[in-house]
Structure formats: C-alpha cells, structure tokens
Amino acid sequence: MRRIARKGGTPETLVNGALNGLITAPPEPLIPGSRFPRGGLVVDGSEVFFGDSNFFDSYRIMKVAVTGGAITVLATMAEDDSPVAMTVDADNVFWVDGNALNQVARSGGAVSKLSDTEDTPLDLTFASGQLFWSETTGPAHGETGRIKTLPSTGGTATILHQGGDAPRELVIANHLLYWNEGGILALSKTLAGLPPFHRKGDQ
C-alpha cells in the first residue's frame, strides 16, 4: 500500500508485502510478498482500513495508521471467500464478501453479520446512517441485479432499486445515489424523497 501527495512527488510505502512484519519472511531465495489485497481501501481520520485474502480458507480485515507502522487485524474470517468492498462510520467497519454484509468495531472484536446477500456483491457505501450495496447475477451485459439499503445499526434490508444491467459502483453526493451499470449511468432521488430512479443516458 502506498500514498503520494496530490500534487505529485515520491510515493511512500505504508504497508509492504510482508504486512510490515505481520507475515514472517520466508527463507531465501523466496521473496516476502504473501499479501493479496482484496476488498477496498478506506481512509478515515488517522486510519486506513483494508482487507486481504489467501484465496483458500480465510481472509482478514485490518487497519494501519495513515503514516504506516504496525498493523492491527480487526477480524479473521475462516472461509473460502474474499472481502469485496468496504466502508466505515465513526464506530464500525462494514464490508461485503460473496455471501454477506458484515460489521466489526474499528478497534476489533466479534464480527456481526448484518444481512445475507442474494447475488454477488460489487460495491458498498455509507451515508446518513444507512448502508447501500449493489448485487448482480453477473458482471456482463444482460445480467441483472439490485441495490439494497440497511441501517448501519442493523435491521431489515430493503431494495432501493431492482433490475438494471449489473449495477456496480456506488457514489453518494448531495443526497443522491449514483451508480454504474452496463452502458448506463443512473441515479436515485429516493434519498431526497423524490421519485426513485432516473436514467442519465449511455456512458
């Protein structure tokens, strides 16, 4: 993991391939580099949250200071899966993997499953106490899916938008939810209490 000034300059390494010493370096001539980044990257305040996966039997949710240093493992999920997307609020880290929307405290601890997913999740975002995520039956044209929402405190997930051509990336700005799908950029005005769906035209 690296960072660079927005005006350019020399990149700084915050997290190396051995997770800043969290992974024991292998014997020569093997090269340290057992980190497989997965599941998004979130910077909030003085902390950076991220995930990795070994692709076989577990994945982890972790954090590091924005200046680098020791890594804290917040959660280890013992399953053949990977985190897909991640977001945070003041108290918790949220992420979706291939099966569920999950939560853990920013300091670590027990993982809570907030909701099962029906299809493959592609993105996750947070605003005004609500979580929003996209699901799709497949990434290609002609597939379908939905956008769902759930209070960050838990409860019952509701469908904000059903259908579309594999909805994926989500962005919230000015009380509006925007997303990409196959060939279409769309937005929902539901957050402002207006009609729920409006197509903005081909990308």
- The DSSP 8-state label assigned to residue 24 in this structure reads P
Whole-number pLDDT of residue 180: 86
Task: Report, in this order, helix, strand and coil percent for the chain, each rounded to 5.
Answer: 5, 50, 50
- The DSSP 8-state label assigned to residue 80 in this structure reads S
Whole-number pLDDT of residue 79: 73
Strand ordering across the sheet containing 145-151: 120-127, 130-136, 145-151, 158-162
Which whole number is the average pLDDT over 85-96? 96
The structure tokens 């197509």 sit at 199
Could you report the per-residue pLDDT of 146-164, keeping only the tens digit for each? 999 999 999 999 999 888 7
CATH of 32-181, one of 3.50.90.10, 2.120.10.30, 1.10.3720.10, 3.30.565.10: 2.120.10.30
Which whole number is the average pLDDT over 23-36? 66
Q: For residue 27, give both structure tokens.
A: 């014997």
Range 45-75 burial, b when 16+ CB lie within 10 A, else e: eeebbbbbbeeeeebbbbbbeeebeebbebb
Q: What is the mean pLDDT of the chain?
A: 84
Give me the residue spans of the domains in the chain: 32-181
Confidence band for 31, pLDDT divided at 50, 70 and 90:
low
